Amino acid sequence: MKLTTFSRLLLLFLLVAQVAKADEEFIVEDIKVKGLQRISVGTVYNYLPVSVGERFSLDNVAPAIKALFKTGFFKDISLEREGATLIVNVVERPSIAKIVFEGNKDLSKDDLTKALKKIGLEEGKVFDQQVLDKVEQELSRQYFSHGKYGLKITTEVSDLTRNRVGIQIKISEGRVAKIKQINIVGNTVFDDATLLKNLELSTSNLLSFYTKNDQYSKQKLSGDLESLRSYYLDRGYINFNIESTQVAITPDKKDIYVTINVKEGAVYTLEKVKLAGNLVVAPEELIKLVKIGPGEIFSRKNATETSKAVSDRLGDDGYAFANVNMVPEINEAAKTVDMTFFVDPGKRVYVRHINMKGNTKTRDEVLRREMRQMESSWASSSKIERSKTRLERLGYFEDVNVETPPVTGTADQIDVNYSVTEKPSGNLSAGVGYSQVQGIVLNANIAQDNVFGSGKRVNIAFNNSSYSTNYQFGFFNPYFTVDGVSQGYNLGYTKRDAGQINIANYSTDVANAGINFGIPLNEFDQLRFDLDLKNTNLTAVDYSSLEIRDFIKEQGDSFLTLSPAIGWTHDTLNRAIFPSQGGQQRFSALATVPGSDLEYYKLSYKHQLYFPLAKDFTFRLHGEAAYGDGYSNTNELPFFENYFGGGTGSIRGFRNNTVGPRDSNGNPLGGSSKIIGNAELFFPVPFMAETKSVRLGTFVDAGSINNGFKVDNMKYSVGLSGEWLSPFGALSVSAAVPINSGSTPYTGGEIEDQTQMFQFNFGQNF
């Protein structure tokens, strides 16, 4: 068969193409890269899908170029052949030398830099125009979360030497958009005012500058919708539903309107409540933990608390991974709910190891003796948490954390890992302080709460002011015995001029020596025994009152007393400094032994409670009562042992020590009984919520000082307070207004109460 002319031409073309292709194929003997400035040759070799010794043809060109472009390092790439050498020509993308922000006020440079880093734009990285195009989107997201919707952003890129660029981001933040109105539609059972109280978002009010609750954010709204849902579910509205939400902003980007559409549904009551599953704990113990019962209105909060309480109880018996699931059966016709708490305890686990980390100074044994959870015993969630609290209460650490990871390869073991952050527990200081009462105070102090990491405390102090000269030495061992009996002793000398601190005119020289023991009764209670030997020299001055002179005439001016004392403390505070929950009770009784130069006794009781109201808000109630009297040859409590009131730590707004009975000269003499009460709400300093060494408060104080145990002449005050644990000492300030200042009678007539609105104390402990 003869070939046609077309067939001959096609065959010739294919033959030529095949020869040309064969001519382009070659074995790569070497690879050279041209145009590199910052990128290493090795990086190119790593991404190039061709190696020396491999066959290369036209079919390999596109994949090779594509692979190099994919790195993002280059803006132009071409391939050439020189004999058996493959030439790779590249043009690198410029690197970002610097990023400059202008106009940012609400967000710091660090915040903005972190935001851009998330999208791959940061100094030192390769510049990519596509990434730059995402800048406005990312920064807008950051500013929108702060309520600034009138944001304008412009970017400029300038070429620099050595193939680098500088990026300038100009920001016009605009004003914060405020919530103008929040509307709830569809509610008939509860009015708008009641429901709006449960939302974090709000229209502007006096505290909005601090709380920022008038600034809209999607996250806050989501939280508020859940709060609204919880409010209804806790009151029996099981079918409550939020059908839609609308957020509208005015054209000028200044005001926001929020509308929430709800469907309330009907109220459901509980018909049956039961426990099911594997009840590894005695049922009668678990039943006590159930917070809901038949006939009650359904409450998701109470049901959740029941589930948690049962789970925690199982955790105390080693079932650390127990699940207690709520299984409701809803009867739509009767509007009732049968609630079953299904208990799945899981496997019982025990603690393999307790590990300590971060105690670079404090000895390991100091931490381990605070442990209530033991190794090789069943894990107890309450004991693990209590051990953490005891570490926090030591006062040696800034932060304490605990983790309970399961042991790899086992199903019934966990490790308990405590990590601590040490803080300075010693103080060596010499300087000058100032107190409104004592005036200028010269002091020197060597104190170490954790000597050589042993947990023992030693202090040597010298204090000199116009009021007193004081020398003290003290030692305290919290673990005198291995079972927690503590021991301490002290030596001291104090010379005091009472007239300098708003008290009657006299002076005393007191030398004392004492020893004390503390015996733990249980986890929260302790008995304390003290024995103090005291020598007191009393001196009348030119202006001493008749009461003081008569006392010296009757009892003398030098007294040696031996006074044993017993005290009881019940302490559940979560922290030693700035606690936020728990309470503390203290009772003490002191009496000089018969035969002492002065025979008297003193009783005192103090009780304080802390209630966490919300995040960083704590409410404290404090009450104190004390009474003393003489016995045998001493007719009454010696006046220099009297109780006083007024000032910081007592009834603020009244001058220190001036509340109570007066002597014949009209000077405060104190009384044999004291009743003090305080109610105070603590909250963080605006814009310093993360600072744990500063807090503010608002308070109401009340108190009375009398002779004889009675409640007369109560004084009241209200005000604001502030406390700061500064590096130079503790500072407490208050601004208080007395509610019922008047006059106090004495033998010479009446004297007006001495008030003092602003009071502070610096350089002394709280």
DSSP 358-395: S-SSS-HHHHHTT--SPTTSB--HHHHHHHHHHHHHTS
Compute and round to an integer the Cα radius of gyration of the chain: 39
Q: Which helix (H) or strand (E) holds 196?
A: helix 192-196
pLDDT band at 434 (very low <50, low <70, confident <90, very high): very low
Lowest-pLDDT range of 24-38, 230-244, 586-600: 24-38
- For residue 598, the model assigns a pLDDT of 95
Whether 22-92 and 95-172 share one fold: the answer is yes
Quick one: three-class SS letters along 710-733? CCCCCEEEEEEEEEEEECCEEEEE
Quick one: three-class SS letters along 583-618? EEEEEEEEECCCCCCCCEEEEEEEEEEEEEEECCEE
Give tens-digit pLDDT for 116-152: 887 778 887 788 777 777 777 888 777 777 777 778 8
CATH of domain 22-92: 3.10.20.310
195-203 mean pLDDT: 90
CATH of 269-344, one of 1.20.1250.20, 3.30.70.60, 3.30.70.1150, 3.10.20.310: 3.10.20.310
- Please indicate whether residue 462 or residue 269 has the higher confidence score (pLDDT): 269
Separation CA 298–CA 222 (nearest Å): 24
Residue 373 has pLDDT above 90, yes or no: yes
Mean of pLDDT over the chain = 86
Separation CA 338–CA 294 (nearest Å): 9
- For residue 441, the model assigns a pLDDT of 46
For the domain made up of 498-762, give the CATH fold.
Answer: Porin (2.40.160)
Give tens-digit pLDDT for 708-729: 878 888 999 999 999 887 665 5
For the domain made up of 178-263, give the CATH fold.
Answer: Ubiquitin-like (UB roll) (3.10.20)
Between the alpha carbon of residue 135 and those of residues 73, 129, 554, 621, the distances in Å are: 20, 10, 88, 52
Phi-psi region for residue 478, left (φ > 0), alpha (ψ -120 to 50) or beta? alpha
Residue 701 has pLDDT above 80, yes or no: yes
385-393 mean pLDDT: 91
Query: Which residue's entry shows tokens 């280059």?
Result: 74
Residue ranges covered by each domain of the chain: 22-92, 95-172, 178-263, 269-344, 350-422, 498-762
- For residue 164, the model assigns a pLDDT of 84
Query: Could you tell me which residues come within 8 angstroms of residue 247 by beta carbon, excluding any fewer than 6 positions away?
Result: 216, 221, 256, 257, 258, 259
Side chain identity at residue 166, one-letter code: G
Other residues' Cβ atoms within 10 Å of the Cβ of residue 157? 13
- For residue 12, the model assigns a pLDDT of 45
pLDDT band at 653 (very low <50, low <70, confident <90, very high): very high
Which residues are bridge partners to 444 per DSSP?
430, 462
Copy the structure tokens of residue 327.
């299984």
Q: What angle do CA 395, 401, 403 make, to 5 degrees?
A: 150
- Please indicate whether residue 465 or residue 628 has the higher confidence score (pLDDT): 628
Lowest-pLDDT range of 114-123, 435-444, 554-563, 580-589: 435-444
Residue 169 has pLDDT above 90, yes or no: no
Separation CA 743–CA 87 (nearest Å): 103
pLDDT band at 16 (very low <50, low <70, confident <90, very high): very low
Query: Could you tell me which residues come within 8 angstroms of residue 621 by beta carbon, excluding any fewer than 6 positions away?
Result: 608, 609, 611, 678, 679
- For residue 532, the model assigns a pLDDT of 96
187-216 mean pLDDT: 86
Query: What share of the chain in percent tops pLDDT 90?
Result: 46
Most confident stretch, 497-511, 539-553, 744-758: 539-553
**Closest by alpha carbon to 392, among 578, 618, 606, 617?**
578
CATH of 350-422, one of 3.40.50.300, 3.40.190.10, 3.10.20.310, 1.10.600.10: 3.10.20.310
Give tens-digit pLDDT for 419-433: 998 876 555 444 444
The CATH class of the 95-172 domain is alpha beta
Separation CA 652–CA 759 (nearest Å): 8
Separation CA 507–CA 552 (nearest Å): 12
Our measurement of the distance from residue 289's CA atom to the centroid of its chain's CA atoms, rounded to an integer in Å, reads: 29
Quick one: three-class SS letters along 141-177? HHHHCCCCCCCEEEEEEEEECCCEEEEEEEEECCCCC
- For residue 571, the model assigns a pLDDT of 93
pLDDT band at 24 (very low <50, low <70, confident <90, very high): low
Separation CA 117–CA 103 (nearest Å): 19
Query: Which residue's entry shows tokens 């209670």?
Result: 525
Residue 97 has pLDDT above 50, yes or no: yes
